Structure 1
């Protein structure tokens, strides 16, 4: 047990199950002394999250496709906790058909959904924390991305475009939230076998290729990503602002 995040209260958005990158982040942050709160989208995910945390009082419902839901959740956070020290945004979604074939197969509605859930939701969170003055000074807002934002990864398609928008959102939010002492960054995680990845056609090949391209031929883990998240949430990272930090064991180098 460390104390890097002692006395810090952090919200984690996006834990689906024990293989989630967000869960790896949560585990390491808790080991470093953080008090954690979680949001869930629906009752099914609540049940899964409750099995992991064992603390129903630390769970709040939040549907990021709804401004009303986000506002209600964050108002409740303000009421319960006063101020937070950080937020982990680990939310992304695109309809499965948006990931198949070529990018010209993308649909207007599918594209809008991917952009809304995967990119705009971060902006929506940023708007709420400033409206409610929910975060302390200093505080940290961290999101998760993938190098499909800058490379044309097979079967990633619309999600890659959404991740590019997410990374741009990080930069603009970092610029505008800095005056409140809120630093905004993204972690570009390597390919990990999560629930989201298994929805990608040919994900087994993607995972194997990614593993082969690491510098030690060992796949990155959710805890390794969690280590970077804990650092970015800590006061050691007050000078890191508006960055996309790769935690993929060197895959992006090749």
Structure 2
């Protein structure tokens, strides 16, 4: 371990927006960072600069440029975490990780490899923003949300969080004292044009959070959502009518500004204090009071 002595945090969606801000803040606070992101080649100079900035704090950092929604990627990343923690490549014996029939065998091998590292992940953040932004109903079928788009959005932005927690808990990387966070929004209970699939995913994410908190509570693992106020991130800019949403949020926010990724990051760092161990199954609003009006 580096001179950072607080342990590792896994950030899903680590290269921009909330994920990048949290990666930097947690590294500055003494945590080492694992990150998974999905970026095209043109974005890699920016991602590499972020990795260098994190490393400059003295933190260990390892990023994977992979699709977090894929089952084989999840196992590959867990194997990579095991290799980093044990300085030895897990003996997966050439298992095809893309074959669902091999999942149990792979997790059994990884559990054995990680048996001295229970709870090595002090936290996981699911901050994955990739989904359909089309209306549910349109006279032009090509413009309305399809079954494939709906299922993809729910899988990537909500269900994938459950699958990561399942496997990380199975190999005991998440264990007593670990904390799981995800990113929801006020859109989970509002109707913004074109936001329907993402709204459904955010509502599902909150339901998943409550259920995981119930099931993981006996293991001493906390599970919560962050609900950021309206924030000017790359994902926000993709929402139809984003400028109107931002202007309205700015008008009614008592703090007279929009939320920033750093607001979430600072809250994350504060909640990593080991004395904070009795908040679970809830949504933590970080919005300066925006949602009160």
What is the TM-score normalised by the length of structure 2?
0.77
1:90 lines up with 2:88 in the alignment: no
Q: Which residue of 2 aligns with 1:10?
A: 9
Quote the RMSD (CA, aligned, Å).
Answer: 2.4
Cα deviation for residue 47 of structure 1 reads 4.3
The answer as to whether partners of 1:99 and 1:200 remain within 8 angstroms in 2 is no
Once the two structures are TM-superposed, the CA of residue 197 in structure 1 deviates from its matched residue by: 0.8
Aligned to 2:63: 59
**Deviations for 1:73-115, whole angstroms, at most 9, x for unmatched residues?**
112212322422111110132124358979x932211110110
Confirm or deny that 1:113 pairs with 2:152. Answer: yes
The structure whose Rg is larger is 2
Structure 2: which 5+ runs fail to align? Answer: 86-116
Partner of 1:29: 26
Q: Deviations over 1:138-196 (max 9, x none)?
A: 01111111011112234322111110001100111111122222111000001111111
Structure scoring higher RCO (CA < 8 A, sep ≥ 6) equals 1
Task: Output the CA distance in 2 between the equivalents of 1:46 and 1:11.
Answer: 19
Q: Match of 1:76?
A: 80
The corresponding residue for 1:236 is 275
Q: Are residues 101 and 225 of structure 1, via their aligned partners in 2, closer, same or farther at CA, if it must alter by over 3 Å?
A: farther
Q: 166, 172, 178: which one pairs with 2:211?
A: 172
Q: CA separation in 2, counterparts of 1:153 and 1:16?
A: 26
Alignment of 1:61-210 (within 5 A): 61-81=65-85, 82=117, 83-97=120-134, 105-210=144-249
Number of residues of Structure 1 aligned to a counterpart in Structure 2? 247
8 Å CA contact retained: 1:183, 1:241:
yes
- Give per-residue Cα distances to partners, 1:196-230, cap 9 Å, x unaligned: 11111111111111111111211111111111111
Question: 8 Å contact 2:12–2:68 — kept in the other structure?
Answer: no
CA distance, structure 1, for counterparts of residue 78 and residue 220 of structure 2:
19
- Please identify, of 38-47 and 72-81, the stretch whose mean Cα deviation from structure 2 is larger: 38-47
